[in-house]
Structure 1
Amino acid sequence: MTTATADIRPLTIPSSLNAPEAADFLEMVRVRNIVYDEISGNRDEELEPAVLLPHYQPSPFEQRLIWGVWSGDELVGRAGLDLPNDGDATVAYAQIELRRHAWSRGIGSTALGILEAAAAANGRRIIQSWIEHPTADGQQVTPPTGFGRIPLDHAARFALRHGYALEQVERKSILDISATSVELVGELHEQASAAAAGYDIVSWHPPTPPEFVTDYAWMKSRMSVDAPSAGMEMAEESWDAARIVEHDTHWIDGGRDVLIVAARDRGSGRLVAFTELASSPGHPVTHQEDTLVLREHRGHRLGMLIKTAALLLWRDLAPHTQRILTYNAEENRPMLAVNEEIGFRPVAYIGAWKKTLTL
């Protein structure tokens, strides 16, 4: 769609970064990184094109649509819509990222209209989005959970103006590795080990070993419904061996350093908790991806057990890491308490926004 100020059109996804049609994708990633730098004031969220490309390849588990936003000859942002195929498939996940100089020109509203129309055309009645809101003074918005708050900033006003409701606040936390005592992490791990006497630690790098695939798939499926989600609509994801293979392949093809650490129940031999660490080789920032303790195994300090085990292993595997980023719902006090005890500190907050569409 072309407006007086922007041209918004589907972005070509190349088969490889060396393909002739890769130029727009490469520029999209460059602009995406600038947008995150403008939001956070640092480069912690930057990712390489090789990391992102696998996630845009065709998948039987979700459809990922993306549009480039051009102002004249300049790519000023992107708009994306994820359409998962899990459950009754009533939810779409939207994302609009614009360079700051493209704000307040009606471009975001036009892009959102395109995303909502595409969601409706695919039979999705709920559209949801997660937006980072740096801390700021002034008027705040609080979700129905009563946990956390975000400033009534440009992004929040945009969401509210277009009929979106703030359902949840997530905390973005960072661990400064240089200021984190190995001795402290070791002590916390020993304490957790004593509390989790009936559990062992196992770890691996992708691809997932065959003996762990079934349990890992089950835990990934529970991640979609057992993690606190407040008023957000979260369909239970269906994970099997094929989906684990795709998940692992994204990491491998993206060239990422990845570690999965899990707790195994000695009685049953099953994996009952896991956490994931991922970074690009040489990159100073590591992302803590999914972390989950199955409901029936909570109360044994397994969250602390797996997180400290992962940190102790990661120091040797990725010595270039300076910071670790993680995200948790503000009402997830057990996991936040673990993070705080280790030394994570809040740096920003993520608003989880939802709108019900009229189909």
Structure 2
Amino acid sequence: MTITISRIDPFDDDAYDAWWEAYAAARRVDMGENAVIWSRDESRAELQQPSATTERRAFVAQEGAVVGSASIGLPLKDNVHSAGIGVNVPPEHRRRGVGSALLAHVEAEAAAAGRTTLRADIFWPASASADGTGEPGYEFARRHGFAVALGDLQGRLDLPVADAAIEELLAEAPAPGYTIRSWAGAVPEDVVVEWAALDASLDTEAPTGDLDIETASADVADFRADEALVARQGRTSYGTIALTADGHVAAYTQIVVSIDDSNAYQWGTLVRREDRGHRLGLRIKLENLRMLQQHSPGTTRVYTFNADSNAHMLAVNTRLGFRTTARMAELQKRLG
């Protein structure tokens, strides 16, 4: 039977559900209990919400029934030379050309939009080969011209962490001269400009390997729109900052809890260059973890991703109790 590719309407429940089921099934078989999967409602909200920064499209492959799914994100304000893509095929439909057909389709969409660089992420368990050799996602990507631009480690922290352990680590990071401030929900208005600026620079301040990326937009209106999406998805954000004596944001960290599982996900953590060397990263992550445990006692795990070359942040996470559960490769391919 011929494979057909079509774009889905995210407001069509049946079409959307079939797309999501293929995505989730592929992730689960590859990663087991440590699969990081956006829930049905979280992904639906992202696809449905209009965005000034990213155009999102989703596709299914069909042979009668849906046998695979794909997505593409087209940045609209920065990194407009690139496209982020995803291809997911459940195990029972693999090795029959479904993934190749989906990939060819999203590559054509990217080229038609004038994009010259494709980016994608693949995952495999920590117990497998460190370089991905033999893993289905890696071998598929390699055959189709993708190269690993940056390697990452997935870390998992099982909760709760004992209060005494947190206090012991806090004693090692007193942060003299800085004020620590934490909250749940939206970033307060008086610090949102500097928070958004730090957050936007994360991708280029952290190790980037061979990634062809530029600093993201720090527009506050766009940042607030992203926060509105988080709220619509039912997620809760926990944020902590370190403030200098004159009131500037020296460091920030953010953990987001999903309403649909018992997991929390570490998002950005960054210390300004001029404020590094004071253990602020450890201090704010500890404070944020303590707040998370106080306000969300049902959360049983925190997942995080860090470049495998980011020795400092990996050391911080090890002190907190994270253990490596998977690897992620940030892939890149030049078009044309």
Matched, 1:152 2:131: no
1:238 to 191, 209, 217: 217
1:10 pairs with 2:21? no
Counterpart amino acid of residue 223 in structure 1 = L
Relative to structure 1, the CA distance from residue 357 to residue 24 in structure 2 (aligned partners, 3 Å threshold; closer, same or farther) is same
Equivalent position to 2:148, from 166, 190, 195: 166
- Rounded Cα–Cα distance in structure 1 between residues aligned with 2:326 and 2:290: 26
Offset of residue 241 of structure 1: 1.8
Candidates 316, 319, 324, aligned match of 1:341: 319
Deviation larger for 88-97 or 315-324 = 88-97
Mapped to 2, the partners of 1:110 and 1:99 lie a distance apart of 14
Q: Distance in 2 between matches of 1:43 and 1:24?
A: 27
User: Where does 1:197-208 land on structure 2 (aligned, <5 Å)?
Assistant: 197-208=176-187
Higher mean alpha-carbon deviation, 288-297 vs 100-109, is at 288-297
What's 2:196 paired with?
217
- Distance in 2 (CA, whole Å) between partners of 1:279 and 1:44 is 16
| Identical residues among aligned pairs (%) | 28
Is 1:186 aligned with 2:167?
Answer: yes
Indicate conservation of the 8 Å contact 2:83/2:119, yes or no: yes
In the alignment, structure 1 residue 78 sits paired with structure 2 residue 69 = yes
CA offsets per residue over residues 126-176 of structure 1, 9 Å max, x none?
A: 111110022355xx5xxxxxxx63333121111111111112210001001
Match of 2:50 among 46, 52, 58: 58
Shift of 1:39: 1.3
Residues 189-210 of structure 1, C-alpha deviations (whole Å, 9 max, x = no match): 22212xx212111122333221
Residues 1:317 and 2:295 aligned together: yes
Q: Contact 1:13 / 1:22 at 8 angstroms: preserved in 2?
A: yes
- Asked if structure 1 preserves the Cα contact closer than 8 Å seen for 2:255 and 2:267, the reply is yes
Q: Which letter maps to 1:181?
A: A
Counterpart CA distance in 1 for 2:5 and 2:180 is: 49
Q: Deviations over 1:25-75 (max 9, x none)?
A: 1333333222221111116524333322232222111111111222322x3
Q: Is the 8 A contact 2:70 2:106 kept in 1?
A: yes
Supply the RMSD in Å over aligned alpha carbons: 1.7
TM-score by length of 1: 0.88
CA distance in 2, matches of 1:293, 1:153: 35
Supply the distance in 2 between the matched residues of 1:135 and 1:188 (Cα, whole angstroms).
27
TM-aligned CA deviation for residue 5 of structure 1: 4.7
Q: Which residue type is aligned with residue 232 of structure 2? A: D
Structure 2 gap segments, 5+ residues each = none
Please name the residue that 2:81 is paired with: 90
Q: Secondary structure at the match of 2:303?
A: strand
- For residues 77 and 265 of structure 1, the distance between their equivalents in structure 2, rounded to whole angstroms, comes to 50
CA contact (8 A) 2:87 2:102 kept: yes
Contact map agreement 1:282 1:320 (CA 8 A) in 2: no
Alignment of 1:60-139 (within 5 A): 60-73=52-65, 75-87=66-78, 89-136=80-127
Name the amino acid aligned to 1:7.
T
Give the residue type in structure 2 aligned to 1:192: A
Where does residue 177 of structure 1 map in the other structure? 159
The 3-state SS of whatever aligns with 2:154 is: strand
TM-score w.r.t. the length of structure 2 is 0.94
SS class of match (2:173):
helix
Whole-angstrom CA distance in 2 between matches of 1:280 and 1:207? 15
Q: Which runs of 5+ in 1 are unaligned?
A: 15-20, 141-147
CA distance in 1, matches of 2:101, 2:24: 22
CA–CA separation in structure 2 for the residues paired with 1:332 and 1:156:
22
Structure 2: how far apart are the matches of 1:232 and 1:320? Answer: 37
Taking structure 1 as reference, are residues 106 and 86 closer, same or farther at Cα in structure 2, changes over 3 Å only?
same
Q: Give the aligned residue type for 1:242.
A: A
Q: What secondary structure sits across from 1:118 in the alignment?
A: helix
Count of residues paired in the alignment: 335
